[in-house]
Structure 1
Amino acid sequence: MLSEQLFSSICGPPLAANTAVSKDVGIYTHSVNPSWAVKATFKKSSAPPHSLAVSDTHVFAAQDQKAHVHVYSRLRGTQEALVPFQERIRCLTLAGDVLVLGTAEGRLMLWETCTGRQVTTPPCHVQAVSCLAVTPYHVLSASEDSNINVWSLARLLELGADPGHGPDLALSNHRGAITDLVVGPSTNAETNLCVSASKDKTCILWNYRSGQVLRTLLFPAAPLCISLDPCARALFVSAEDGGLYLVELFGDKPLLGSRSAELASIVVQVDAPLGVADDDAGPASCLVLNCDGTAVFTSHAKGKILRWSLTDGGHPSEMANLNAPVTNLVFVPFMPDHKPCRTATVVKPNQTQRQYTFTTQLKGHLNGTGKFGEMLNSTGIHSQALENAMLSISAPTSGAEDDSKLLKENEELRAIIEEQRALQKATMQYQEGNTA
C-alpha cells in the first residue's frame, strides 16, 4: 500500500518536561497512512518557518538566526554536512537540484547541489526575504517590505551572466509584510497563478507573469499560512484568530475566469471559517494539503500537528505533540517525477570557483532495454520496424497537383543542366581552336 510521508521540523526549546519526546530531535518523518507513526528522526536542527526542503535523497534545513544550512542524508539517516553562508538564511526551497535561499539582507542565493556552484544576487528587497516559491521556470521571492519579485530561473543560472541584474517583475499591492506565498501548477502564461498572504489581512491572487491582480481577499485576521489544492481550484488559509478558511475559486460564484461576474478590482470579504483551532494549539505556522487534497494539516506554536476534516464540521484532530513550536510541514510525493539521476552526495557551495565537477548517481540500468537494444537483441527483424515499414508502404501517395509541380521542377533543372553542358562544350572548343 502506498504511504504518504510528512516531514516536520521544530524550532526552539522544549515547552515542557516531556520524557515521551526524544531529546535533540529537530526533524521528524511521519507516516500518514494507513496509520500515523514516526518513521525517522534527524537531530540537532532548529529550523524557522519556510526553512525546510526535502528532495528524494536529502533534507535541507536552515538554522534559526544563523548563516548555516544543515544537510541530512535520507538514505543514511544522518547529518551529511553543515554548510556556512555569508548571511543569515531566512527561508529556502528546492528547484530541482538547485537550493534557493533568501537572506536577512534581502538577497537570493542559488546553490547547485551537484556541482557546488553558487550564484548570489544583489539585495533585491529592502528587508529580509520572508518566503520563496518556485516553478520549473521562475523563482518568486517575497519580503517583509511587502513586495514580491519574479525572477527567471534560467537567467539566474546562466553561465557567465551578470549576477547584478534585477528581477523580471515586481508585485507591490500589499501594505504589510508578506507572511506566505504559493504558486499554482500551471506553466501557461495565461494561467500562471500565485497567491500571497500579508499582515494587512489580505490575500492577493496574481498572474505573476503579467503582474495582473486577479482578486483580493480580505479576512477578519491576518493570514499566516496558505496552500492551494493540487488542482488550484481552492485556497486554504490559516489566520491569526486560529481559523481555517476555505475559498473556492471556481464555485457557484467564480472568483476567477470568464464566468466571474465581478470585476477583479472588487475586494471579496471572507468571514466564515471552516473551523477554529483550540486555544491550547496556538497560532499556525504552516499549512499543507496531502497529495490528493483530501486532508489538511497545520503546525502550531504549542507543538501540535492538527488534521482538519473537510466533511466533519471542520473540527481538527490532534495527530502529534512534539513539545516545541512546529514550524514546517513538507509532504513528499509518493509518485515523484522520473529523473535519470539523483544527488548521492552534495557538493558544498563555492562562489569563487570557475570550474566545477558534476557529481550525481545514475538511476536504472545502463544496459537498459532502449529502442536500439531491443532491435539489436530481437530475433530477425524487430516487430516495430516491420510495422513502420508496412505503414510507410500503405501510406497514401501525394496528390496529382504535387506530382505535376515536382515534374515541372525536374524539367526546369534538366534545362539548366543542358544549358550548362552546352556552355562547357563551347568553351572547350574555343580553347582548342586558340591552342591550334
Structure 2
Amino acid sequence: MECVNAIVCTTMDQTNPATIWDSKTGTLIAHFRGKGSIPRHCISISGGYLYASERGKPLIHCWPLNKQHCESRRLIAPGKIECFDFSPDSTHAAVAVSEKLHLYQLSSGRLLGIGAKHYQPISVVKFNDTNNLIACGGLDGMITVWTLANLIQGSDPLFSSMDHNLPISDLTFTSGSLRSRVLSVSADFSCKIFEVASGKLLLSIAFPARPTCLALAPNETAVFIGNSEGGIFEVNLFDKSRKTAEYHQPTEDQDSVFAGHEKQVSCIAVSRDSIYLISGSHDETVRVWHIESHQCVRKMSQRGAVTNLMFRVFSSWNFATGFKPPLVAHSFINPSNEEAHNDTSFEIMVKDDQLLDQILPTSSTCGIPQLSASVATPSGVTSSDQEAHLKLEIEKLKTVNNQMYRFAVKAILNGPSGVANDSVVPFSNVKVRLPNKKKKKVKGSQNDKRPKKDKTKRKKQKIVKSGKVNQP
C-alpha cells in the first residue's frame, strides 16, 4: 500500500469546484464535479468522503474520493451555511448558520446542541486536534471558544473575546487541549494570540497590509499570514526581540515575505514536515514554496479564484474503483421542538471495567428513573429524619387504605341494614353462600311420595249427597 502526499484545492469554478493534486509531481489525481462554487471555510475530508457546501445554500454535498460526481445524499442544515468543520476523528460536525453554531453527531445525524453568542454571522469555525474544542470567529470581531460539553448543555462558551475591531478572517489552534493557544487574523490589520484556558491576550502583531488567512507550522515555531496585496508574512513565534505584548511587523524585512502572487492570497497551508508551504490566490494560481529558501518551486493554474487549500496523506486504494468509504455521515436531523431534542441518546464505548462501574449506576434499576415523592420538610433536617418522616407517611396511608377496605366489605355483606360486624376477615377469605336451586320433580318418579287419592271413595261421596243409593 502506497501513501500519496496530496494537495486538496477548491475554487470558484462552477463545473469542477474541487481537485486533488500530487504535491511532489504536480499531477492531477482526481477532480470532482458540482453545480456551484465552494466558498471559504466550507470544505472538509472525513472518512473517505469530501464534504463541501455551495455558496448561499443550506446543503453539504458528499463526494467519494474515487468518484467524480457527488452522491444524491446531502446533509441539510436549518439555514444558509456560512462555514463548517468536521472533527479530526470524524465524530462531530460544527456548522455555522448565520450567527448560531450547530453541533451534530455524524454517526446518527442528531443535533446535539446550539451555541448563540455572536451578534453577526460566523465567518470561520475550527476544531482542535483533541476533538473537544471549537473556535468561532464572526463578522462582529468576536472570538468564542466552546467545549463540546458547553454546546450540549446549552451553557456559555469557555471564553469570548472582543479584542478585534473588524471581522475575523481566519483562526487556528495550537496542539493540546486547554493548554493550547488560539491564533486569529482580522481585517483590522492585526494577528492576535490568546490563551484558551483563561482567554488572556498574549500577543498582538500589526501588519502593513490587511491579513486574509493564516497557517501554523506543525512544529509551532512560526506562523504564516497571507495578505490582501499578494504577499505572505512569516512570523517567528520564538523571537526574543519582542519584549512587549504588541508588535509591529516591519515592512522592510524582505527575508520574512513570500512574494509572487499578483492578487489577494486567500488560503495557505503547511506540509507535515514543515518544509513546504502552499498558497492560493485570486489570481487563479496555486504556488508551492520552499520555506527555508522562500523560493517558489511549483506553480499550478486553476480555473477560478482559489478558496481552500489543505495538505492530506491518502492511501493509493482511496482512489481505487472498488473503494468503499468505511464511515458514512448520516443526514442531519433538525428537531422541530425541544422535546425531540431532549430525547437524544448517545452511545459510549468503554473498555475499562472500572470506568464502566463509575459511569453506570450500581442499583438494580440500571438507570431507569423511579417515582419519587417530594415531602416538604423544614430546613436543617437530616436525611435520616426525612426517611423516618416518609415511613410515617406510608404507615398513615396503609391505615387509611385498611379502613376503606373494611367499610367496603361491611357494605357488601350486611347490605342496607347496616349491622356492624367487627370481626371482618380479608375479602379473599370470605365465603358467600348462594341459595340452592329447586329441583324439578318428574311425575311418577321415586321422588314423588305424595299419597294417591282413592277414586271409588270419591264416587260414593257424590251418590250420598244426591240421595240415591245403589241396591246390591
Fold shared, TM-score > 0.5 on shorter chain? yes
1:345 maps to: 328
How far apart are 1:232 and its partner, in Å?
1.2
How far apart are 1:27 and its partner, in Å?
0.8
Say whether 1:322 aligns with 2:302.
Answer: yes
Amino acid at match of 2:195: N
Amino acid at match of 2:45: V
C-alpha RMSD of matched pairs (Å): 2.5
How far apart are 1:276 and its partner, in Å?
1.4
Q: C-alpha distance in 2, partners of 1:195/1:98?
A: 22
Q: C-alpha distance in 2, partners of 1:205/1:238?
A: 16
Q: C-alpha distance in 2, partners of 1:284/1:129?
A: 21
1:144 maps to: 139
1:24-54 Cα deviation digits (max 9, x unpaired): 2111111112x11111111114210111111
How far apart are 1:357 and its partner, in Å?
9.5
Are the counterparts in 2 of residues 106 and 127 from structure 1 also a CA contact under 8 Å? yes
Q: Residues 75, 201 of structure 1: CA spacing in aligned structure 2 closer, same or farther, 3 A cutoff?
A: same
Q: Residues 311, 138 of structure 1: CA spacing in aligned structure 2 closer, same or farther, 3 A cutoff?
A: closer
Are the counterparts in 2 of residues 233 and 248 from structure 1 also a CA contact under 8 Å? yes
How far apart are 1:344 and its partner, in Å?
2.8
- Counting only pairs closer than 5 Å after superposition, residues 135-284 of structure 1 correspond to structure 2 as 135=128, 136=130, 137-157=132-152, 161=153, 163=154, 165-187=155-177, 189=178, 191-251=179-239, 253=240, 262-263=243-244, 265-271=245-251, 272=253, 273-279=256-262, 282-284=263-265
1:247-268 Cα deviation digits (max 9, x unpaired): 11114x265xxxxxx24x3334
How far apart are 1:72 and its partner, in Å?
1.6
Q: Residues 3, 86 of structure 1: CA spacing in aligned structure 2 closer, same or farther, 3 A cutoff?
A: same
How far apart are 1:317 and its partner, in Å?
4.6
Say whether 1:102 aligns with 2:96.
Answer: yes
Q: Secondary structure of 1:121's partner? A: strand
Q: Give structure 2 stretches of 5+ with no counterpart.
A: 316-324, 348-472
* Aligned positions, number: 325
Q: Residues 244, 311 of structure 1: CA spacing in aligned structure 2 closer, same or farther, 3 A cutoff?
A: same
TM-score, normalising length from structure 1?
0.69
- Counting only pairs closer than 5 Å after superposition, residues 11-26 of structure 1 correspond to structure 2 as 11-12=12-13, 24-26=15-17
Amino acid at match of 2:292: T
Runs of 4+ with >3 A deviation: 75-78, 353-359
Are the counterparts in 2 of residues 126 and 145 from structure 1 also a CA contact under 8 Å? yes
Q: C-alpha distance in 1, partners of 2:346/2:61?
A: 21
Are the counterparts in 1 of residues 150 and 156 from structure 2 also a CA contact under 8 Å? no
Are the counterparts in 2 of residues 113 and 343 from structure 1 also a CA contact under 8 Å? no
Q: C-alpha distance in 1, partners of 2:81/2:31?
A: 23
TM-score, normalising length from structure 2?
0.64
Amino acid at match of 1:71: C
Larger radius of gyration: 2
Q: C-alpha distance in 1, partners of 2:250/2:74?
A: 44
Amino acid at match of 1:142: G
1:302 maps to: 283
How far apart are 1:127 and its partner, in Å?
0.9
Are the counterparts in 2 of residues 53 and 330 from structure 1 also a CA contact under 8 Å? no
Q: C-alpha distance in 1, partners of 2:247/2:114?
A: 35
Q: Secondary structure of 1:79's partner? A: coil
Q: Secondary structure of 2:149's partner? A: helix
Q: Percent identity?
A: 20
2:33 maps to: 43
How far apart are 1:199 and its partner, in Å?
0.5
